[in-house]
């Protein structure tokens, strides 16, 4: 189990896709749910929201940005190699409902998480407008898939190298001005989600976000992933990862995501040295 059946590098190797054999998880997983992965005996447990599942083949797909030691280690795993542990499906599934017009906004690798939700929302009869963004054209992922999963796709790059020159929130504003939007789903880096929520708040449109808090077990037994939602503490792993974006304390989330910055640098540095020596 947990053998890598397919491996694909995206966005110039900064993002990696793995299709992993995990029949028990694939059978049960729904859009919005996540898995915890651990590469080897000394590894840490990392949460990643599933980008896709294939119950027939018994596989799940994860797409992750290479940002530190663990994701660098994941990237080094080749087809035929295995993750030692994959646990899931965890968290609440996205509540998919026919509402009318909905907008799905994705930034960076958040697009990978957004894709199954977008597809699910369209499948049950919503008119789905998707907006995806990246810093530059080379970092954009899943454009074709998002096109297929939505009725209308807008692409933005911060540097204008492709599509609309500017942020996803610019396009979102334009759409909210002229369309009767029933719901917005925003998934991406914390600052992006925060700004999406600021925009939709003005238009009083319900907004779902998927929070990427630090986790250990992912089953509600430690509280590492606690977030403040409407003034109350909630566990992202069991109550989330999706929450009403207008109630999220994003500044606290940002701060908590930085908790181990120095340790993460130490781990990465050590790993890089080992790789060079080996």
Partner 1 sequence: MAETTEKKEKVPRQPMPEQSAEVRRRNFEEVPRGYTAEMAMKEAERCLQCKNPACMNGCPVSIEIPAFIKHVKEGDFTKAVRKIWERNALPAVCGRVCPQEIQCEGLCILGKKGEPVAIGNLERFVADWERANGKGDLPPKAEPTGKRVAVVGSGPSGLTVAGDLILKGHDVTIFEAFHKPGGVLVYGIPEFRLPKEIVYSEVNFLERLGAKLQCNSVVGRTVSVDELFEEGFDAVYIGVGAGLPSFLNIPGENLIGIYSANEYLTRANLMKAYLFPEYDTPIVRGKDVAVLGAGNVAMDSARTAMRLGADRVRIVYRRSRDEMPARKAEIHHAEEEGIEFHLLTAPTRFIGDENGRVKAMECLKMELGEPDASGRRRPVPVEGSKFTLDCDLAVISVGAGANPLLTRSTEGLQLTKWGYIIADPETGKTTKKGVWAGGDIVTGQATVILAMGAGRMASDSIHKYLTWGW
Q: By CB under 8 A, name the binding residues for partner 1.
A: 24-25, 28, 38, 42-45, 69-70, 84-90, 216-217, 219-224, 226-228, 233, 238, 252, 255-256, 258-260, 263-264, 266-267, 270
Report the nearest approach of partner 1 to the CB of residue 227 (Å).
Answer: 8
Distance, CA of 269 to CA of 159 (rounded, Å): 30
Return the number of the residue (89 or 133) whose C-beta is nearest partner 1.
89
Return the number of the residue (42 or 78) whose C-beta is nearest partner 1.
42
Report the nearest approach of partner 1 to the CB of residue 76 (Å).
Answer: 14
Count of CB atoms situated within 10 Å of the CB of 98: 10
| Backbone conformation region of residue 65, classed left if phi is above 0, alpha if psi is from -120 to 50, else beta | beta
- Cα–Cα distances (Å) from 190 to 139, 153, 156, in that order, read 18, 22, 18
Place of tokens 């880096």: 189
Report the nearest approach of partner 1 to the CB of residue 270 (Å).
Answer: 5
Report the nearest approach of partner 1 to the CB of residue 33 (Å).
Answer: 8
Return the number of the residue (148 or 265) whose C-beta is nearest partner 1.
265
Token output for 170: 């610019």
Report the nearest approach of partner 1 to the CB of residue 65 (Å).
Answer: 17
Return the number of the residue (13 or 231) whose C-beta is nearest partner 1.
231
Pairing, β 164-165 against β 226-229: unpaired
Return the number of the residue (8 or 40) whose C-beta is nearest partner 1.
40
- Cα–Cα distances (Å) from 45 to 39, 106, 213, in that order, read 8, 25, 13
């Amino acid at each position: 189990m947990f053998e890598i059946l397919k491996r694909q590098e995206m966005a110039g190797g900064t993002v990696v896709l793995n299709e992993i054999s995990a029949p028990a998880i694939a059978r049960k997983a729904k859009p919005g749910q996540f898995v915890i992965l651990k590469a080897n005996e000394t590894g840490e447990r990392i949460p990643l929201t599933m980008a896709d599942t294939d119950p027939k083949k018994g596989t799940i797909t994860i797409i992750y940005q290479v940002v530190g030691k663990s994701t660098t280690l994941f990237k080094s795993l080749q087809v035929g190699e295995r993750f030692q542990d994959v646990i899931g499906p965890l968290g609440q599934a996205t509540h998919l409902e026919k509402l009318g017009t909905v907008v799905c906004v994705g930034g960076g690798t958040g697009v990978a998480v957004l894709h199954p939700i977008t597809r699910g929302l369209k499948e049950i009869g919503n008119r789905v407008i998707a907006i995806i963004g990246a810093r530059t054209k080379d970092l954009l992922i899943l454009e074709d898939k998002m096109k297929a999963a939505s009725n209308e796709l807008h692409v933005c790059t911060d540097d204008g190298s492709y599509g609309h020159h500017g942020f996803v929130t610019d396009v979102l504003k334009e759409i909210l001005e002229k369309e009767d939007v029933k719901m917005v789903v925003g998934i991406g880096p914390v600052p992006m989600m925060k700004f999406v929520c600021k925009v939709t708040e003005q238009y009083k449109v319900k907004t779902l976000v998927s929070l990427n808090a630090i986790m250990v077990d992912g089953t509600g037994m430690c509280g590492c992933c606690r977030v403040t939602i409407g003034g109350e503490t909630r566990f992202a792993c069991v109550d989330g990862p999706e929450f009403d974006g207008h109630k999220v304390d994003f500044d606290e989330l940002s701060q908590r995501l930085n908790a181990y910055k120095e340790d993460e640098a130490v781990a990465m540095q050590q790993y890089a040295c080992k790789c060079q020596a080996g």
